[in-house]
Chains A and B, each alone.
Chain A
Amino acid sequence: MKIVKGNCGLCQGGCGVLAYIEDGRMVKVEGDPDFPTNHGILCPKGLASTQLVYSPDRLKYPLKRLGERGEGKWARITWDEALDTIAARLKEIRAKYGPLSVAGSCGTGRPLIHHDRRFLNILGTPNRLNSSHICYMPMLGAGIITFGRFPSSDFRNTRCILNWGSNVTHTRRMGMGLQLIDAWKRGAKLITVDPLLTPLASKSDIWLQLRPGTDCALALAWLNVIIKENLYDQEFVSRWTHGFDRLAAHVEPFTPEWAEPITWVPADKIRQAARLYATTSPATLYPGVSVEFGPNTTGTIRALLFLPALTGNIDVPGGNVLWQDAIPMGTLYSMEEKPATWDNALGDYPLLNRMLPTAGHAGWRAVLTDQRYPLKALLFHANNAIVGHENSQNFVYKAIMKLEFLSVMDLFMTPTAELADIVLPASTPYERDNIFTPNAEKNYVPPAIIAAPKVVEPLWESRDDGEVFIDILKRLGLDYGAETVKERLDQLCLKSAAGVKWEEFAKTGYASYPQSFRKYESGGLRPDGKPGFSTPSGKVELYSSELEKLEIDPLPLHKEPPESPVSQPELAKTYPLVLTTGIRSPVYYHTQYRHIPWLREIDPEPRIRIHPETAEKYGIRDGDWTYIESPRGKCKQRAMVTLGIDPRVVMADASWWLPEKATREERAWEVNINNLTDSEPPHDPGFGSTSGRSLLCKIYKAKE
């Protein structure tokens, strides 16, 4: 038995792993005690790694479709035949409709994204059909508009954590959960904003149980309290912010009493929480992905980011620290080599399209309507859009069925792969060399680049997606700019804090620049090296002239969710409950790992949280299968009757599918809450974000 150092890629975390290898087989994993992010600890997903790698359900060989799309008839083919077929179909479709008729996507982005974005650049398309419009791009983009960079949460040095809509001790990425727990154990104050009594909410000093979708109103009320009660850092504000007077006038009417009927949070409690945050120094804001899944993300996230800006918590230890890239994001995502077609990205979302276009729904709409230009072929890598994208059955599925060509590379035969022309078997993170770049993630201090070296040979005929990108391009006569994945990793490592080639870097596995603070004073933020922020005014843009130019509200405004009891009282007669959808299980990552026995045993079925009064009203008991229905579709989940949710709200598990079921209907949609989420406008004007966390629904008991 030998023990080798590797890195878990089962989420974006990049936790250091000791892999126990016996006769070339990984028999066990443990956390690497020397690794600086996870200190020897792994989460349940990571600990089940061997069951993922050796899962009998994995895709083993390339397959081609026989019969109709989605009929489930396949023939095993060679890699050569698979890649030749993909290249031939792409050639044909590109010749007929132009380069924009082909798009791609990898799912959560993880370390594939540095391959995927570059691959698409070379193919000449800006369009990736993924979820960046509701995950990470709004956070990042709003940070850039306001500060020039995103301000990460520094849990290590903090005395107060404002946990706004995150359940990071379950989702864990980048060891952030560990850091948060450490701070809390040291006695840092904890404030949680969440519609559900999560473990973090339960352990918080103050829990604000808001109505889903009203985060911006709540944040505006906090700003009102902080300004009116003079709890802001006057020196920082006068020297380093732009538009404070306009903001102060703007939030004047947004008192806690104004916010109470909108957010359902008592005015007193809003004051109490805002005071605790503003008077405990240093304090750090940790916004979760939930604030990115609504049609008002630009305003909501900016309003949140004003909290550290006003309270003197920007770029100070224990506050919100402006990023220092361990590898420039533009290099990592090949944004420096945008194709000429970039400005023609689908979806008119100026802030998203500056970063990583486009929104999945914009792509699906293009497929369905041929608006702008035809979109005919998709190359999917680790993207289970049928389960993961909004409005699954009536929108995404219909679009996929209309494609001329779809190839899907994945670990398992997902409901999305089932619809492909060509299915390719991917290797797991343990079977390939790669880098993780938590520096490019929003919440990581200090920013780092992490090596994830291969610890076992790829099983069966599975391959690294990076190799496949290179091979496809070669067949099209295009150049990836690297002959091998290692060469590409060399290029990236050399431009990063690692500063050495891949093989060399893989030996140490972790590199970062030392964290520095108050960079706006030292001139560390702007390209010209002058003090200040890298924004048009050189200051923190409370009032944003950039947004004004784009005709987006330059100051944040509360917008009533488009589908709510307030905005649609008629519809609410049929669908009387507020539905929010984002619950993540600690044993799954998005749509993944329902195949893994150790994980599925812990969380066997999706659950919907219902208050006891509401359950009684609808004749539902704890554990009953319950239908949840919105104007777009329905699914069923097990009732979890709990006091932890407001009686007017139900909260459903995200991203579920049932691999073991016999029919597609059951596998893909029976329990999939994305049958109910909305793909249609209104969208956030900056990022194209959709409504997924605040909708209307009705519930009723299912027979079984």
Chain B
Amino acid sequence: MTKWTIAADPELCFDCKACEVACKQEHNLPVGPRWIQVVTVGPRMVGGKLKVDFVPKMCVHCANPPCAEACPVDAIQRREDGIVLIDEKLCNGCLACLPACPFAVISFDPDTQRASKCNLCVDRIEQGLQPACVKHCEAGALFAGDANTVAQEMRKERAQRSGV
């Protein structure tokens, strides 16, 4: 069975922020929670060249999610298909999960007063669509799918660009 994952290749990202707004729109999020956020790293010298990188950060849907571990009411579950979801009905807004996530990708939603994070556009996926951020990425820097295929696709992209 497919084990879903989502990943970004910072080498490809141009920092256009379309993924961030695509996500906001898809999930009708207020100002505050940012399920995906593009972080600037640098500029810094890399091999004698000044370089700046853009790293899209979102929940990576861990195999053994520390956030789920930290949740006192078991509101966070990893599904069979690998998608880690917060159950809004169970979540009591205690935010124990926030510091537990090693990637700091859980936000607090001021409207619902609950923890809130990327759900891999589970409704879209179930309809056979790509997640909203992946669909609208100008550079094809975001990849969603089965963990194995995603790794393959990312390698393919890189190989093509370096002319290998």
Contact = CB atoms under 8 A, between A and B. Distances in A.
Q: Which of B51, B54, B137, B139 has the most CB of A within 10 A?
A: B139
B22 A47 contact: yes
A203 B135 CA distance: 23
Contact of A197 (B18, B52, B161, B162): B52
Interface string A36-52: 00001111100110100
A207 B51 CA distance: 11
A582 interface: no
Interface in A377-397: none
Contact of A187 (B31, B43, B163): B163
B69 interface: no
A643 B135 contact: no
A28 B25 contact: yes
A643 B18 contact: no
A43 B44 contact: no
A87 to B, nearest CB: 42
Interface of B is mostly: mixed
Nearest to B44: A643
A617 interface: no
A458 interface: no
Given A28-B25, A41-B136, A41-B138, A586 B17 contact: yes
A199 interface: yes
Interface string A188-210: 00000000010110110001000
B50 interface: yes
Nearest to A587: B17
B85 interface: no
A44 B17 contact: yes
Interface in A355-392: none
Nearest to B137: A41
Contacts of A601: 31, 34
Interface stretch (A169-177, A316-324, A433-441, A533-541): A169-177
Nearest to A177: B138
How extensive is the interface on chain A, given as a class?
Answer: 35 or more
Nearest to A40: B135
Given A47-B136, A169-B16, A586-B15, A187 B160 contact: yes
Contacts of B121: none
A375 B10 CA distance: 53
Given A184-B161, A187-B163, A199-B54, A642 B135 contact: no
B135 A31 contact: yes
A40 B50 CA distance: 33
A597 B31 CA distance: 7
A490 to B, nearest CB: 34
A600 B162 CA distance: 36
B65 interface: no
A186 B136 contact: no
A601 B37 CA distance: 11
Contacts of B24: 47-48, 598
B135 A30 contact: yes
A599 interface: yes
A178 interface: yes
B140 to A, nearest CB: 7
A181 interface: yes
B156 to A, nearest CB: 11
A602 interface: yes
B123 interface: no
Interface string B7-50: 00000111111101110111000110010000000111100001
Given A185-B157, A185-B161, A644-B52, A44 B140 contact: no
Contacts of B43: 197, 202, 642-644
B52 A599 contact: no
A410 to B, nearest CB: 23
Interface string A14-50: 0000000000000011110000000011111001101
A41 B20 CA distance: 13
Closest A-B pairs by Cβ, 9 of them: A44-B21, A169-B14, A47-B21, A644-B43, A187-B163, A643-B43, A199-B14, A202-B52, A598-B24
Given A47-B25, A170-B15, A170-B16, 17 more contacts: A42-B18, A42-B22, A44-B17, A47-B22, A47-B136, A48-B24, A48-B25, A50-B25, A184-B161, A199-B13, A199-B15, A199-B54, A202-B52, A202-B53, A597-B30, A598-B31, A601-B31
Interface of A: 28-31, 40-44, 47-48, 50, 169-170, 172, 177-178, 181, 184-187, 197, 199-200, 202-203, 207, 586-587, 597-602, 642-644
14 contacts: A28-B25, A30-B135, A41-B135, A41-B137, A42-B18, A43-B18, A48-B21, A184-B161, A185-B157, A203-B14, A207-B50, A643-B50, A644-B43, A644-B52
